[in-house]
Amino acid sequence: MENTKSPRRSKMLVVPSTPSLTRLGYGTGVGVFNMTRSPHMGVICSPWAIKKLWRGNENKEHSQRLKKEAEILRKLHHPNIVGYRAFLQTNDGRDCLAMEKCSMCLGNMIEERQEGVAGPYPAADILTVAAGLARALDYLHRDQLLLHGDVKSYNVLIQGDFEAVKLCDFGVSLSLDGNGIVVEGSDMTYVGTDLWSAPEVLDGDLVTSKADMFSYGLVLWEMIALTVPNFSFDQSLVFSGSKADDVQNKNPNNLEDSTEKPNYSGLLDVSSQDVSLHDICGSRPPLPDVSLGADYNPVLYLFEWCTEHDPNRRPRAQEVLDWLESPNNPNVK
């Protein structure tokens, strides 16, 4: 979004130091923490999720991205999008984004499930995620004229036992025109994460709301395969190189404590590695060699529909919703 204004800060609240917070996760250049709030006038206050830059991180891009996310999120109001709470500062002056806290991110849930022997998520759970994300994307694409730009399991939050599904992380979102095409501008560069990116993004072609739908289809695949998409090559190619070295070589005195470590899921960008993107990204990954019952048929249909190579053959979020909510489709709880 061009000429993004700095979000309004809440001057009445101060974020505690990191050692007094519980770590929830990581992002590119940021840590996410749980902030417990004291009762106000006898009323119990729900906890917040606090996203803040690493201490000593003077990267202007990360700082601007956090401000942009706060400004965008403040304007969004939808049950399937994480709620904005405040834009705060730490005692040492760092900006922080306070958000609604959910139980866990889907990416971490998939990692934990992969470590066990449970196998793919039940089809009903995948379809619940499919419906929640489709509602969020339909709201963004049609009502707000926004491309999320980084749809992946690590940007999907789950409350309880799939009681709520919420999309988060709007730091790289882009404006759309009335036809769903990304608006041209100096700051209208698609960032995303390569392994979830649509082929037209990697090719440098016209980017539309259909790019989000390709990534959406890969999230459904993740819940079956229990791994990130298009990741069958040597993983050391991702977890080595300048980005990882830069993080690992940070002066430990610049970090508040050992909890503010890098999130290697945020380093899943192979564009700077000696690997052809088209060998591993921007394509429909094969299904894992597992037995899937007939109840998975709607999931597989959605996955294949949304990961068509030609964006014109992919559905809009509204079309996915219409299909999921059709009275002839009893597969969504």
Q: Percentage of the chain surpassing pLDDT 90? A: 47
Least confident range from 120-124, 215-219, 260-264: namely 260-264
Does one domain contain both 38 and 164?
A: no
Least confident range from 18-32, 57-71, 114-128, 230-244: namely 230-244
Closest CA to 52 of 85, 98, 5, 100: 98
248 burial level (CB within 10 Å; 0-12, 13-18, 19+): exposed
Residue 248: alpha-carbon gap to chain centroid: 24
Contact 143, 180 (CB under 8 A): no
pLDDT band at 253 (very low <50, low <70, confident <90, very high): very low
Q: What tokens appear for 241 in the block?
A: 């190189």
Last residue of a domain, one of 47, 72, 100: 100
Is 150 part of the annotated catalytic residue set? yes
Please report whether residue 262 resides in a domain. no
Does one domain contain both 195 and 175?
A: yes
Please report whether residue 329 resides in a domain. no
CATH number for the domain harbouring residue 23? 3.30.200.20
Q: Which of 150, 169, 194, 212 is catalytic?
A: 150
Please name the residues in contact with 125: beta carbons below 8 A apart, sequence gap of 6 or more: 162, 223
The domain in which residue 139 lies consists of 104-233+275-324
Task: Say which residue the tokens 């995620």 belong to.
Answer: 129
Q: Give the amino acid at 157.
A: L
Contact 54, 135 (CB under 8 A): no
Does one domain contain both 122 and 96?
A: no
Q: What tokens appear for 320 in the block?
A: 């996915």
Phi and psi for 107 in degrees, rounded to 5?
-60, -45
Q: Is the pLDDT of residue 309 over 80?
A: yes
Tens digit of pLDDT for each residue in 2-33?
Answer: 444 555 554 445 555 554 455 555 566 666 66
Alpha helices in the chain (DSSP H): 60-75, 106-115, 123-138, 199-203, 210-225, 236-239, 242-248, 277-280, 297-306, 317-324
Please report whether residue 211 resides in a domain. yes
Q: How far is CA 24 from CA 33, 48, 103, 262, 294, in A?
A: 5, 11, 9, 13, 36
Q: What tokens appear for 82 in the block?
A: 């994480």
Q: What tokens appear for 250 in the block?
A: 């940070």
CATH number for the domain harbouring residue 283? 1.10.510.10
| DSSP, res 93 | S
Does one domain contain both 89 and 109?
A: no
pLDDT at 7: 58
pTM of the model: 0.77
Last residue of a domain, one of 69, 100, 131: 100
Does one domain contain both 144 and 207?
A: yes
